[in-house]
Amino acid sequence: MFLYRQLLERAKERPVRVCLIGAGKFGSMFLSQVPTTPGLEVAVIADLRVDAARAACRAVGWSAETVAGTDFTDDSLAALARDDVDVVIEATGHPRAGITHARAAFAAGKHIVMVNVEADVLAGVALAREAAAAGTVYSMAYGDQPALVAEMVEWARCCGFEVAAAGKGTKHMAHYHQSTPDTVWSHYNITPEAARVAGMNPKMFNSFVDGTKSSIEMAAIANACGLAVPSDGLLFPPAGAHDLAHILRPKAIGGVLEREGVTEVVTSMEPDGRQVAGDLRWGVYVVVKAPNDYAAACFRQYGMPTDSTGQYAAMYRPFHMIGLELNMSVLLAALEGKATGSARAFTGDTVACAKRDLAAGETLDGEGGYCVWGKVIPAERSLREGALPIGLAQDVTLTRAVKMGEIVGWSDVALKDGDAAVAYRRAMEDAERPKLAA
């Protein structure tokens, strides 16, 4: 409640100092807020493209003096281990890199804010456990949807409500699962040339279109909040803010959910392509259930959007500001030793699902590519079926043909010897399997 006051006091002594790894869009949005935040400084920025990182700082309004006084490097491991770094921000988006950087941060006694949701879903439970053992903070990134939803779920439970559903909105239609980097720009209503000039990565943007990013984020929320995920992938029901409580309730009373207590994504598109009225494309939500008739009556009295029974009500936030809000995670970690959400149980997993018929010998190209999209399923099912995590479906060769819509398994690919990310994930699976079987 008094974080800003703590920051001002800290500023009198020494600033909170950050190592940013990855100066892309999310990192740039964070960088834009640093000059106007007292007591916060960036000690070093690590990026494989050092010149591009400097250009990003200039583009977000840093003065020439500030840029000149900041260290830039392409050696991320050396950067995060520096004595003048309090918090590491991992914003690369690459799951293998995320695991490597997180573990190095723990070893160096640094807190880490994991913008890299791909790494969190691949091995977040193990990383959170390792951070706790090291006495450091492992945190979701405030401003991104998973941390914002986790905050809303925490609010609901602390107020005595049962959470029926929690998640976000997006733009999605069923055929988007087959989207590729060649077709992605039509979904954004821009030309490939305009995207190229703007420096927009087609694979990254395609991961939002084909459903992979939504699946990853819902798995992250489930694992942080102890919620379930749908048994066979997200439903993406169309729903506006006024319809959330009506749509996101159990099937038995007219909703779409298999059960209460799940993560789900609502789409801003009707099946016929029309825009949903009052859509939540950029927002997040939680649907709560009244614990008693008195609370349900209060829902109505205070204007909450409820379902027809009056028992279910929705709270939502229409926008999220991504890296512009990341300071909250950085400062809570540095000043209070707290996380803005963190994986605590292996509940949901996001696995590789074939976009088309794939032939033996093909090389998978990972998230947002031409071959597979990420489908969220229960972790218990993932382990039972031996499903390949989407975070490891990059640069691996298929050993058998896989039909469109089929989940790719560990046994379907040839893995490279000595892959540290594979070993770390496998170890996490071995540790979690007895818990899920219980």
Residue 85: what are its φ and ψ, rounded to 5°? Answer: -110, 125
At 211 the pLDDT is: 97
Give CA torsion, residues 326, 330, 335, 338, to 10 deg: 90
Of 369, 364, 368, nearest in space to 409 by CA: 364
- For residue 196, what is the enclosing H or E element? helix 192-197
What contacts 187, CB < 8 A, 6 or more positions away?
171, 176, 179, 209
Question: How high is the pLDDT of residue 155?
Answer: 98
In a domain, residue 291? The reply is: yes
Q: Which residues pair with 414 in a beta bridge?
A: 397
> What is the reported pLDDT for 89?
98
Q: What mean pLDDT do residues 416-437 have?
A: 95
Q: Are residues 240 and 153 in the same domain?
A: yes
Euclidean distance between CA atoms 138 and 121, whole angstroms = 13
| pLDDT attached to residue 195 | 85
- Give domain status of residue 9, yes or no: yes
Q: Is residue 90 part of a domain?
A: yes
Determine the average pLDDT of the residues in 285-306.
97
User: What would the pLDDT profile of 356-379 be if each residue is shown by its tens digit?
Assistant: 999 999 999 999 999 999 999 999
Same domain, 155 and 248: yes
Does position 198 have pLDDT exceeding 80, yes or no?
A: no
Structural domain of residue 11, as residue ranges? 3-142+324-336
Asked, for residue 73, whether it belongs to a domain, the answer is yes
The amino acid occupying position 59 is A
Contact 80, 19 (CB under 8 A): yes
Question: What's the average model confidence in pLDDT over 341-364?
Answer: 98
pLDDT for res 200 = 81
pLDDT at 196: 82
> 125: helix, coil or strand?
helix
pLDDT of residue 314: 97
Which residue matches tokens 């818990």? 435
Same domain, 279 and 403: no
Q: Give pLDDT, residue 437.
A: 84
166 and 290 share one domain: yes
Q: What is the mean pLDDT of residues 384-391?
A: 98
Residues 256 and 367 occupy one common structural domain: no
Q: In this structure, is residue 206 part of a structural domain?
A: no
What's the Cα-to-Cα distance from 102 to each of 67, 285, 308, rounded to whole Å? 26, 29, 46
Quote the pLDDT of residue 175.
93
At 33 the pLDDT is 98
Q: Model confidence at 71, in pLDDT bands (50, 70, 90)?
A: very high
**Cα 88-91-92 angle, rounded to 5 deg:** 120
Q: Same domain for 365 and 396?
A: yes
The arithmetic mean of pLDDT across residues 339-364, rounded, is: 98
In the structure encoding, which two tokens stand for residue 235, read together? 């439903």
Residue 213 has what pLDDT?
Answer: 97
Residue 291 has pLDDT above 90, yes or no: yes
Instruction: Give yes or no: residues 125 and 159 share one domain.
Output: no
Shared-domain flag, residues 160 and 278: yes
Helix (H/G/I), strand (E/B), else coil: 322: helix
pLDDT in tens, 95-141: 999 999 999 999 999 999 999 999 999 999 999 999 999 999 999 99
The reported pTM is 0.96
What is the pLDDT averaged over residues 332-346? Answer: 98
Per-residue pLDDT at 189 = 86
**Which of 307, 336, 365 is the C-terminal boundary of a domain?**
336
CA end-to-end distance (rounded Å), the chain: 39
pLDDT band at 6 (very low <50, low <70, confident <90, very high): very high
Domain count, the chain: 3
* pLDDT given at position 92: 96
Whether residue 131 sits in one domain with residue 151: no
Query: Are residues 156 and 132 part of one domain?
Result: no
Give percent above pLDDT 90 in the chain: 95
> Considering the domain boundaries, does residue 31 fall inside one?
yes
For residue 77, give the CATH number of its domain.
3.40.50.720
pLDDT at 1 > cutoff 80: no
Q: What is the pLDDT of residues 130-157, one digit of tens each?
A: 999 999 999 999 999 999 999 999 999 9
- Tell me, yes or no, whether 185 lies in a domain: no
pLDDT band of residue 37 (cuts 50, 70, 90) is very high
Same domain, yes or no: 418 and 394:
yes
Clarify whether residues 237 and 289 are in a common domain. Answer: yes
Asked whether residue 341 is assigned to any structural domain, the reply reads no
